[in-house]
Structure 1
Amino acid sequence: MQLSETPRTRLTRLSERGRAELADLYAVLDAGLVGHLGVVRYGAPLVLPMGYGRRGDTLYLHGSSGAGWARTLDGAEVCFTVTHVDGVVYARSVFDHSLNYRSAVVLGTAHRVTDPDRQNEALAAVTEQLSPGSWSYARLPTRRELAATSVFALELTEASVKIRTGPPHDEPADVTTGGRWAGVVGVRTVFDEAEPAPDLEAGLTVPAHVSERRPA
């Protein structure tokens, strides 16, 4: 399936980097740990980093019920972005330096989730996005904890994806002149070895869903 282009999601520069497949949007979102929520509060833009989760064509966000932004988010127009930096691109000219990246921009109206079953589904999605395997391992939220948490849904009906890969795109004259190095330095996210909590009781080993995040 393809993304539905709108005037707000149409790429106006370097459109060849755009991706039209819905699967590309899923891939960028599913690979992320943190996104950025853009809202307007008190007449000014506000951008907040936060965890998130996806189920089908819905993005789920959550936060404290006491947070100022959460009290005004229901029914608000928002922008949610996720970006992965895959490499720093060194060109022969400063102007042609760049990044290899994958990015997604989602636009739409955020709606509060009030149905208890859907709240649990949303919080499971957020938990599994950040720490796969934890929803079935750790203690689940109590009623009091759920009451202190606001959950919002953002449909993936208006979104764009932009990706850059490959080497620098130098000017032919700079390539011909030579004498300057050009190339790409890759960037990756690496998980360290798990560090146990200082108050952990003796004899507990690191569960598989935690240890497996660090490749052997």
Structure 2
Amino acid sequence: MTAAKAPSDRTRARRMHEKAAYERATIDAILDAMPVAHVGYVKDGAPVVIPTLQWRIGDQIYWHGSTASRTQRSASDAQVCVTVTLTDAMVLARSGLEHSVNFRSVMVFGTARALTDPAEKAEALRMMMEQMFPGRWEQLRPMTAQELKATAILTLPLTEASAKIGTGMPTDPPEDLATPVWAGILPIQLTMGQPIADPSLAPEITVPDHVKNYRFGG
């Protein structure tokens, strides 16, 4: 898919290398389209993978949790792998072996760093909210010092990141094309439902545009 060079040996695709993409524009687009990520690290000799929300600011990705979280404490200053995946279609072939999925994914490797400066933490949280729901941050009740203290934010540079993208129809071998079974792709689309107001919400408060227009997975 790309002639760009992998930024490191562990980001280089070894299988299906034709699906690899190393350009930052491609990597950024996938990260920006899907906030749900999985963070993997090793604790006490065993692998641990947690789901979380990630967001990108320039050349860094961020994720947050409670300062009391064992996961956040264990991942700080540790080697981690953050994975983001968009599933675009199921690929149905004429044999079980050739069934596949169309997808866009990113893997980011590196040493996670915990933000310690309160101003840096507050700005990172503001950016997360503004990227998802533009204009909402200024409408919210201001964050308290205790809330900020209780929130742990980890960050990882995008210096070791790579993407992998699968597209297209099934790749059945020629001898299977006459097999009388349906083959093709089953597209997957992420759609947002109608907003449901909190029952305690005052009736005069209407749904803001940043809620009506929110989308991800594009």
Fold shared, TM-score > 0.5 on shorter chain: yes
Aligned residue number for residue 30 of structure 1: 32
Aligned residue number for residue 44 of structure 1: 46
CA deviations on 1:12-34 (whole Å, 9 max, x unpaired) are 11100011211000011000121
1:192 corresponds to which letter in structure 2?
Answer: G
1:201, distance to aligned residue in structure 2 (A) = 1.1
Contact 1:33 1:129 in 2 (8 A): no
The alignment's TM-score, normalised by the length of structure 2, stands at: 0.92
Contact 1:3 1:22 in 2 (8 A): no
Q: Does 1:189 align with 2:190?
A: yes
Gap change, CA 1:115 and 1:36, over 3 Å in 2? same
Contact 1:3 1:160 in 2 (8 A): no
Q: C-alpha distance in 2, partners of 1:17/1:80?
A: 19
Contact 2:36 2:54 in 1 (8 A): yes
SS in 1 for 2:101: strand
SS in 2 for 1:188: coil
Where does 1:100-115 land on structure 2 (aligned, <5 Å)?
A: 100-115=102-117
CA deviations on 1:42-99 (whole Å, 9 max, x unpaired) are 2211000001111000011110000111222221100000000000001111110000
Q: Which runs of 4+ in 1 moved over 6 A?
A: none
Root-mean-square deviation (CA), in Å? 1.5
Q: C-alpha distance in 1, partners of 2:214/2:70?
A: 34
The answer to which of 14-23 and 115-124 deviates more is 115-124
Q: C-alpha distance in 1, partners of 2:5/2:67?
A: 33
CA deviations on 1:175-198 (whole Å, 9 max, x unpaired) are 1x2311111010011000100001
The answer to which of 122-131 and 199-208 deviates more is 122-131
Q: Does 1:9 align with 2:11?
A: yes
Contact 1:35 1:82 in 2 (8 A): yes
1:4, distance to aligned residue in structure 2 (A) = 4.4
SS in 1 for 2:155: strand
Contact 1:53 1:127 in 2 (8 A): no
The alignment's TM-score, normalised by the length of structure 1, stands at: 0.93
CA deviations on 1:117-151 (whole Å, 9 max, x unpaired) are 22122112333454444323322321110010011
**Mind listing any 5+ residue stretches in structure 2 that lack a counterpart?**
none
SS in 2 for 1:38: strand
